[in-house]
Homo-oligomer: A and B are copies of this chain.
Amino acid sequence: MLMDKLEVQLGALQRRCIDLKIPVVILFEGLDVSGKGVQISKLVHSMDPRWFQVYPMKQEAEAEAMRPFLWRYWNKLPKDGEISIFDYSWYHAVTSEVFRKKEMEHDPKVLRQEINEFERQIVDGGTCLIKLYLLIEHDEQYARMRALGESKSTSWRVTPEEMRRNEEYDAYTRLVDEVLTETDTEFARWNPIAATDRRYATVKIYQTIIRAIEKQIDEVLKKADQAEKKKKIDTTKIGESILATVDLTKKLEEEEYRKKLNKLQKKIQKLHGQLYRRRIPVIIGFEGWDAGGKGGAIRRLTQKMDPRGYAVHPVAAPTDIEKVHHYLWRFWTKVPKNGHVAVFDRTWYGRVLVERIEGFCTRKEWKRAYREINEMEASFVEEGAIVLKFWLHVDKDEQERRFIERQTTPEKQWKITDEDWRNREKWDEYEVAVNEMIEKTSTPHAPWVIVEGNNKYYARIKVLETVINAIEKRLESEDKK
């Protein structure tokens, strides 16, 4: 009777989540044989199957192993209104895998920190995150394992590794305790579930989830109420502008450019092969004024690289699928495999540039983005990536000259639109945003490089040289190890 009521309630709440476009993530973690599988089946019983997906995450595929730790989870985050249920989750790596004391690819301390950052980011982004940990006692665990082991049809379900965790129950649960304590944050609380009694556990799980979703719905409705936000645009004076100090007179003559270009492209071709063999991923972001020369610089950068080892991602307005995900999702899903190069023509910095200026996100959202972006880039670097960001800088006169050239050259007309002229009118607002961006997101591990772009030859060579230097530095430091 109670269960019937809870099922109806959860079914109705799922419908509300769809209407209100709330993405829900439910983690099932727990001790071995605590019954996660059964509980997940009971849970989805009441749900509309078109709007949830269960992900068994115990094993990692090769494509996943070749990318940052959190990549596989970012890929499986729900769209707005959907529910993703994880059977095992990002906690597997910091509990079972640590306990196994196997050669860890990652430092567990760093992973825990990344986990906390990740959870904060998705919760801040509007996800209803529900973390469940199923607990059973030592004796009960032993009894269940024995029962499974006795029947031929179920004995495969208990591995020697699981038996060992039962033998060392105290030590293992101490580790779990420690992890749960450290990741029990104000934005993502843990819900321990006593799972010895299965019926009791089911009720408890339903109640926990119902309460969490109800709370989220309340918050969403409250926010919608206050929604008459004044999209205040920041036009604080430019102050100490980093951009203002850029020396735009730097230039290169054509002959010298051709010579250097040829030499540098050959060099990067060779380095690209070394990156591949050493499995080092490279992430390069390009931002800059319209007509700043991004396209040309990217072309020269990649031209001689082996095309099987790099991809260029043009970033425009988000597609409808991207719109119903966290704003960082579309970049996470494009993280290169180890040994590959990903070049982004415009980047995740759109959040603090165009989205800020045009009011496509709230002030609170873009303010928060600096930290989130720094965290994301740090994750990439932590996994061994080289991360570089270029701001292609030209002055306003040069931009105008190029716009006019584009309009009057038939082959270039496709490059210029009315929107470019409109953006130009907001030059000062952008300058404020760019300065703040560079100030807040230029980190030692992922520095901004401002490229003096009035002279295209100079700019292209600077980009190539910067990338080459970063790769060489990295290869040297690996050699020393």
The residues of A with any CB-CB pair to B shorter than 8 Å are 12, 15, 19, 37, 40-41, 44-45, 48-56, 61-63, 85, 87, 295, 298-299, 302-304, 306-308, 310-314, 319-321, 343, 345, 411, 414
Asked whether B49 lies within 8 Å of A299 as measured between CB atoms, the reply is: yes
How many Å lie between the Cα of A40 and that of B303 in the bound state? 12
How many Å lie between the Cα of A321 and that of B314 in the bound state? 14
User: Which residues in B have their C-beta under 8 angstroms from that of A302?
Assistant: 49
Asked whether A50 lies within 8 Å of B87 as measured between CB atoms, the reply is: no
How many Å lie between the Cα of A63 and that of B62 in the bound state? 9
Asked whether A15 lies within 8 Å of B414 as measured between CB atoms, the reply is: yes
How many Å lie between the Cα of A310 and that of B56 in the bound state? 11
The 8 Å CB contact of A48, one of B299, B308, B310, B343, is B299
Asked whether A308 lies within 8 Å of B15 as measured between CB atoms, the reply is: no
The 8 Å CB contact of A61, one of B44, B61, B307, B319, is B61
Asked whether A308 lies within 8 Å of B56 as measured between CB atoms, the reply is: yes
Asked whether A307 lies within 8 Å of B85 as measured between CB atoms, the reply is: yes
The 8 Å CB contact of A343, one of B15, B49, B54, is B49
CB A414 to nearest CB in B, in angstroms, measures 7
Asked whether B321 lies within 8 Å of A40 as measured between CB atoms, the reply is: no
How many Å lie between the Cα of A87 and that of B54 in the bound state? 35
Query: Could you show 24 A-B contacts with beta carbons less than 8 Å apart?
Result: A12-B411, A15-B414, A19-B414, A37-B308, A40-B308, A45-B303, A45-B304, A49-B298, A49-B299, A49-B307, A49-B343, A50-B298, A50-B313, A50-B314, A50-B345, A52-B307, A54-B307, A54-B308, A56-B308, A62-B62, A63-B63, A87-B308, A319-B319, A319-B320
Asked whether A53 lies within 8 Å of B320 as measured between CB atoms, the reply is: no
| Residue of B whose beta carbon sits closest to that of A345 | B50
Chain B CB within 10 Å, residue with most, of A49, A298, A306, A312? A49
User: Which residues in B have their C-beta under 8 angstroms from that of A41?
Assistant: 304, 306-307
The 8 Å CB contact of A63, one of B12, B15, B61, B306, is B61
How many Å lie between the Cα of A345 and that of B51 in the bound state? 12
CB A157 to nearest CB in B, in angstroms, measures 12
How many Å lie between the Cα of A311 and that of B49 in the bound state? 8
User: Which residues in B have their C-beta under 8 angstroms from that of A303?
Assistant: 45
Extra A-B contacts (15), CB below 8 Å, given A49-B299, A50-B295, A50-B312? A15-B414, A37-B308, A41-B304, A41-B306, A44-B307, A45-B304, A48-B295, A49-B298, A49-B343, A50-B314, A61-B61, A61-B62, A85-B307, A319-B319, A320-B321
CB A48 to nearest CB in B, in angstroms, measures 7
How many Å lie between the Cα of A312 and that of B345 in the bound state? 35
| Residue of B whose beta carbon sits closest to that of A299 | B49
User: Which residues in B have their C-beta under 8 angstroms from that of A304?
Assistant: 41, 45
| Residue of B whose beta carbon sits closest to that of A313 | B50
User: Which residues in B have their C-beta under 8 angstroms from that of A314?
Assistant: 50-51
CB A89 to nearest CB in B, in angstroms, measures 13
| Residue of B whose beta carbon sits closest to that of A294 | B50
CB A293 to nearest CB in B, in angstroms, measures 14
CB A71 to nearest CB in B, in angstroms, measures 15
How many Å lie between the Cα of A314 and that of B18 in the bound state? 13
User: Which residues in B have their C-beta under 8 angstroms from that of A313?
Assistant: 50
CB A18 to nearest CB in B, in angstroms, measures 8
How many Å lie between the Cα of A313 and that of B53 in the bound state? 10
User: Which residues in B have their C-beta under 8 angstroms from that of A295?
Assistant: 48, 50
How many Å lie between the Cα of A63 and that of B65 in the bound state? 14
Q: Which 7 A-B pairs have the closest CB atoms?
A: A54-B307, A49-B312, A50-B314, A56-B308, A44-B307, A50-B312, A54-B308
CB A64 to nearest CB in B, in angstroms, measures 10
User: Which residues in B have their C-beta under 8 angstroms from that of A51?
Assistant: 314
The 8 Å CB contact of A53, one of B48, B50, B55, B311, is B311
How many Å lie between the Cα of A306 and that of B44 in the bound state? 9
How many Å lie between the Cα of A313 and that of B48 in the bound state? 11
